[in-house]
Amino acid sequence: MAETMELVPDATDPKTYYLNMGPQHPSTHGVLRIRLHLEGERILGADPIIGYGHRAHEKMAENRDYLQFLPNSSRVDYLSGMIYNLAYCQAIEHAIELDVPERAEVIRIICGELNRISSHLLWLGTFVLDLGGFTPFLYGFDDREKILDILDSITGSRLTYCYGRFGGVTMDVDDEFLRRTSDFCDYFKRRLGEFDELVTDNVIYQQRTKDVGVISSDLIQDYALSGPVLRAAGVAHDVRKTEPYGGYDRFDFDVPVGQRGGDCFDRHTVRMEEMRQSLRIIDQALACLPDGPIMAAKVPKRIRPPAGDHYFAVESARGHFGMFITSDGTDIPVRHKLRTPSFVNVSTMPVVLPGTMLADTVAILGSIDIVVPEIDR
């Protein structure tokens, strides 16, 4: 079991060596470990070793009822916790066929998109930090802080939200929230232009990202890539479009795709554009927020999805997040599989990394936007 994979036929070649990048390393964004086989600075092989952040969410789900698992859901991915939290609620609503009031749906979309922007902002900051630019990191955090404050005002938490309930949301939004959100949207539209000037147009930034780490279309089918990585490779696939959930079909937004064949720069432009599209969605949602209840009238006390398999997918900030819940008709699931996008994206690393330079490794890892607890679950 402890046998290690030989990355190249001749691992004893004295010109080559192994480098353990992680689990403690500034650029693996947590406790990811990548065993790199190097010749000088050139990478011959890469073997991601995961599990350092394993918290047994799937086992926990099998040992508690559906409601008790709710706080876990946002801990799966702490950077877009809102999306994961709401996704779990929607999955259960989908399984027990519970209808959500329209107001709650729109509030969910506003919060989800705000969370997507905050996640992308953190990505932008840490990605440029990986490339050695320190300043955009703090700019990104500054703006992200504004989103956290807004979400804090209705959810009471800043990172791992537990805002959704089966059938709606916990708290109604007030005029203050709506005003702050629309103020933020106006402000952030201008800020995005500044980010473009500081980061996107920077010559060194472009040199470091263009034609680096191409995750091209031939890997897509092999690995079932999703999210910005998939769209950067030129496939306009977004779960919000292909299987609209939670009322996304009411809103008008575009799915940006990369123009350069799926390199790091493509993933950058796709995420920048996604932030703009999220702002568009929020603008529309704020304009059409209906009055009404925020919780479904009749929510069963005990959640017992019918026996069988239930699959529900959402578009998280990182890609296709699916939940495969197998129920036997009781209040405790038989199996709750979390199909997380970072897991898939990192599993491509043994194919993508070889042939690049050591400095590209951090660029590529940064560009696919990994969240290690989401890989390990």
Partner 1 sequence: MTDFPQIFGGHWPGVLAATVAIMGFITVNALMLIWLERKVSARIQRRYGPTEVGPFGLLQTLMDVVKLIGKELVTPDHVHRPLYLIAPVLVFAPLLALLSLIPIDEGWIFHDYDIALVLLLAFSSLNIIGIFAAGWGSNNKYALLGAVRAVAQNISYEIPLLLAVIPIVIMTRSLSLHEIASAQAAYPFILVQPLAAIIYFIAGTAETNRAPFDIPEAESELVAGFHTEYSGMRFGVFFLAEFTHMVIICSVATILFLGGWHGPLLPGWLWFFLKVYGLILVMMWFRWTFPRLRFDQLMSFAWMILVPLALVNLLVTTVVLKL
Partner 2 sequence: MTELAGRVTSLDGISAADDDAVLANGCQHVYHSQSSAIRDAARLFRDSDYHLEHITCLDLRSDEGGGLRLSYQFNVHGTSDRHLLLVDLAPDAHAPTIVDIFRGADWYEREAFDMHGVVIDDHPDLRRLLMPEDYTGHPLLKDFADADPERHIMAAPMSEEDEGDG
Which residues sit at the interface with partner 2, rule CB under 8 A? Answer: 1-3, 5, 50-51, 54, 56, 58-59, 62, 94-95, 220-224, 230, 235-237, 242-243, 305-313, 320, 322, 324, 326, 328, 334-335, 337, 339, 343-344, 347-348, 351, 376-377
Please enumerate in sequence order all residues whose Cβ is within 8 A of that of 147, keeping only pairs 6 or more positions apart, or say none: 114, 115, 117, 118, 121, 184
Is residue 188 classed as helix, strand or coil in its secondary structure? helix
Please check whether residue 16 is in contact with residue 38, taking contact to mean a CB–CB distance below 8 angstroms.
yes
Name the residues that contact partner 1, by CB under 8 A.
Answer: 17, 19, 25-27, 41, 128-135, 138-139, 142, 198, 202, 204-205, 207-208, 357-362
Q: Count other C-beta atoms under 10 Å from residue 254's C-beta.
A: 13
Q: Length of the chain in residues, anyone?
A: 377
Report how far residue 363's alpha carbon sits from residue 133's, in angstroms, rounded to the nearest whole number. Answer: 12
Q: Which does 23 bind (CB under 5 to 8 A by kind): partner 1, partner 2, none?
A: none
Instruction: Tell me the closest approach of the beta carbon of residue 212 to partner 1, in angstroms.
Output: 8
Q: Which does 312 bind (CB under 5 to 8 A by kind): partner 1, partner 2, none?
A: partner 2
Could you tell me the CA-to-CA distances from 52 to 24, 32, 49, 353 in Å, in that order? Answer: 10, 7, 8, 21
| Closer to partner 2 by Cβ: residue 128 or 371 | 371
Please check whether residue 184 is in contact with residue 146, taking contact to mean a CB–CB distance below 8 angstroms.
yes
| Closer to partner 2 by Cβ: residue 250 or 337 | 337
CA dihedral (179, 180, 181, 185) positive or negative = positive
Q: Which does 306 bind (CB under 5 to 8 A by kind): partner 1, partner 2, none?
A: partner 2
Instruction: Tell me the closest approach of the beta carbon of residue 197 to partner 2, in angstroms.
Output: 34
| Closer to partner 1 by Cβ: residue 212 or 289 | 212
| Closer to partner 1 by Cβ: residue 12 or 221 | 12
Q: Which does 56 bind (CB under 5 to 8 A by kind): partner 1, partner 2, none?
A: partner 2
Report how far residue 365's alpha carbon sits from residue 373's, in angstroms, rounded to the nearest whole number. Answer: 15
Radius of gyration of the CA atoms of the chain, in A: 21
Report how far residue 369's alpha carbon sits from residue 212's, in angstroms, rounded to the nearest whole number. Answer: 15
Q: Shortest CA distance to 220 belongs to which of 352, 311, 335?
A: 352
Instruction: Tell me the closest approach of the beta carbon of residue 64 to partner 2, in angstroms.
Output: 15
Q: Which does 17 bind (CB under 5 to 8 A by kind): partner 2, partner 1, none?
A: partner 1
Instruction: Tell me the closest approach of the beta carbon of residue 194 to partner 1, in angstroms.
Output: 12
Q: Which does 213 bind (CB under 5 to 8 A by kind): partner 2, partner 1, none?
A: none
